[in-house]
Every structure is written in C-alpha cells, then in structure tokens.
A and B are shown apart, each in its own frame.
Chain A
Amino acid sequence: MKTELDTGKWVQQHGDYLFSLAKYKLGDEELAKDLLQETFFAAIKAKDSFRGESNERTWLVRILNNKIIDYYRSRKNEIPMSAYLAATAGSFNDHYFDATEYGHAKASAFPQITGMSSDDGINQGELKKVLDYCVGKLPATLSHVFLMKHVFEEKTDSICKHFNITSSNYWVIMHRAKLLLRTCLSKNWLA
C-alpha cells in the first residue's frame, strides 16, 4: 500500500479533475480555482494524516468537499435569506405571474420549449451543456441552495438547517431557481 504522497505531480495528475468537480459544485470558475489551491495547501498541512487507506485522489476529493461545504457555511449569514426573498418577491412574481389577484401564470413568461419535455432529452450532451450554463447563471443566493440539493444531494431538512431557512422558504427558492432555469433554457435551447 502506497502511503507516500506524490505532491510534485498533484496538479498534473489531479488538477483538472478537482477543478472540474469544484467548478461544477460551485458554479464559479474563479472561486473553484481559489478553493483548489486552498485544498492543496490544506492537504500539505494534513499530509501526516494520509495513511494510504484511500488513494491520493479520493483523499484530495474529501478535502476539497470539506472546503466547498465550509464556503457554503461561511456564506449563509451574508444575506438573510428570508429578507432577500421578501424583498425580491414582488418583482419576481410580477414577471412570471399575474400576481395582483390569484397568481395566474403569464403565458408570455412560459414560452414553449420543444424537444425537451421527453426523457431522451437528458441523454443529449447539448442539454447538459445548456443546463450547466444556466445553473451557472443563477443568482448566488438561489444557486447555493439549488446546488446543495442537486449536486451534494443533501436532504431538504438538513439544507434548511444549514442555511437557517424555513421549509416554505426552501420551496420558494427551488421554485424560483426552476423558473429562471426554464427561462434561460428556453432562450438557449435550440431543438
């Protein structure tokens, strides 16, 4: 069992892979680069704890994931989520819904997207690309919750605890994220 770390080849061997993971989980290239560097530094500091139980890459991924979770945690109090949701509710709902009376959807805000409502759409590389792009375009406040759900696959109640939000806040956030994704996809998806 290999218990020595090969630090001199870290970037060459794991750089792109860790960067891809970080970029995907954070939705932000610059941030991904920062956390990648922090991950390598943290790994060097913790190098004595590497005993070769897992391979080098698995070990680095674990450190990276902790860095990403720490980042989410540090962000959670920056903007009080419920205040943000309340402040933006009016303009948001006005765009998609006739919110004055019942909240009926405005047909103009829900354009038809052809060729994507079927299951085989998922297998098309193009959809993944467009979806990635659109997830990256979500406002940070929404994307952190969305990514926590769909990239870290955390349970809803632990996400609520984590961001200190109510479950009804959570459903509002997911709804908004999906409305924005739908608009973005309808603009960028060419069936």
Chain B
Amino acid sequence: MKNTIYSKLKFIQYNCIEAQRLAIKRQETKLLPSEYMRLKVHMAGCSVCREFEKFSALVNKAMHTRLHSMNSNATATLEDNYKKDLQQKIDDFLNHDNK
C-alpha cells in the first residue's frame, strides 16, 4: 500500500509532460480537483515547469496585446507592383462582372 502511494507520488513528481499540459489548461479553464492537486504537487518541486507556466502565460498575454494593437494599423505592406497588378485584376473582374 505504502509502495503504491510512493510510486504514484513519484509519477506525479517526475511527469513534466502532464504538469505542463495541466498548467496550460489551467490558464484557460478550471481544473478538476484531482488535476489541481497533481499540478500543485508537481510545481512545488519543479522549476522547469514553473518557468514554463510563466512562459505560457506570457505568450497568451502577448498574443492578446498583439491582436488588439493591430486593429487600426497595417503592419505589413504589399509591393507597389503587386498592388498595381491586383488593382488591375479587380478592375478587369468588375468589368467582366458587369457584362
């Protein structure tokens, strides 16, 4: 019995794959109580996963800021020649459509 608990604990402590998935999940939604417990136990002893959790939150926040700063400004530009061609295609398409 003692052995089983010990091996379960060891599994939680060493399983960074699960802990990182749970960390990402927790940033989006509520974890089940059992998931939350496993995450807490793992995080207590794992600096790599603690850092990964922070990184994940940073990406979420940066993507959000990025999206909402895009709303009024163009960040990429088309080459002039490409624009000329494209406008020509639009004009042609319009004429064709009107016939």
Contacts and interface: CB of A to CB of B under 8 A. Distances in A.
Given A103-B18, A150-B63, A171-B21, A11 B54 contact: no
A150 B14 contact: no
Given A11-B87, A171-B21, A122 B62 contact: yes
A116 to B, nearest CB: 7
Given A16-B77, A20-B74, A24-B75, A105 B55 contact: no
B78 A16 contact: yes
B62 A178 contact: no
B1 interface: no
Interface in A6-21: 7-8, 10-12, 15-17, 19-21
Secondary structure at chain A's binding surface: helix, strand, loop or mixed? Answer: helix
A78 B13 CA distance: 38
A1 B31 CA distance: 51
A178 B24 CA distance: 9
B91 A99 contact: no
A169 B73 CA distance: 35
Interface size grouping (class) on chain A: 35 or more
A93 B58 CA distance: 23
A127 B62 contact: yes
B97 to A, nearest CB: 6
Given A16-B77, A105-B48, A107-B48, A122 B65 contact: yes
B11 A102 contact: yes
B87 A178 contact: no
Contact of B64 (A8, A150, A156): A150
A125 to B, nearest CB: 10
Given A16-B76, A105-B48, A110-B51, A7 B94 contact: yes
Given A103-B16, A113-B55, A175-B21, A151 B74 contact: no
A128 interface: yes
Given A97-B16, A131-B63, 20 more contacts: A11-B90, A19-B74, A20-B74, A23-B76, A24-B70, A104-B16, A105-B49, A110-B52, A117-B51, A117-B58, A119-B58, A119-B61, A121-B62, A122-B62, A127-B62, A132-B66, A175-B24, A178-B55, A178-B56, A178-B59
6 nearest interchain CB pairs?
A: A102-B14, A103-B17, A150-B63, A16-B74, A105-B16, A11-B87
18 contacts: A12-B87, A15-B83, A19-B77, A24-B76, A41-B90, A45-B97, A93-B17, A102-B13, A104-B15, A105-B20, A121-B62, A122-B61, A128-B62, A132-B66, A150-B67, A153-B64, A171-B21, A178-B24
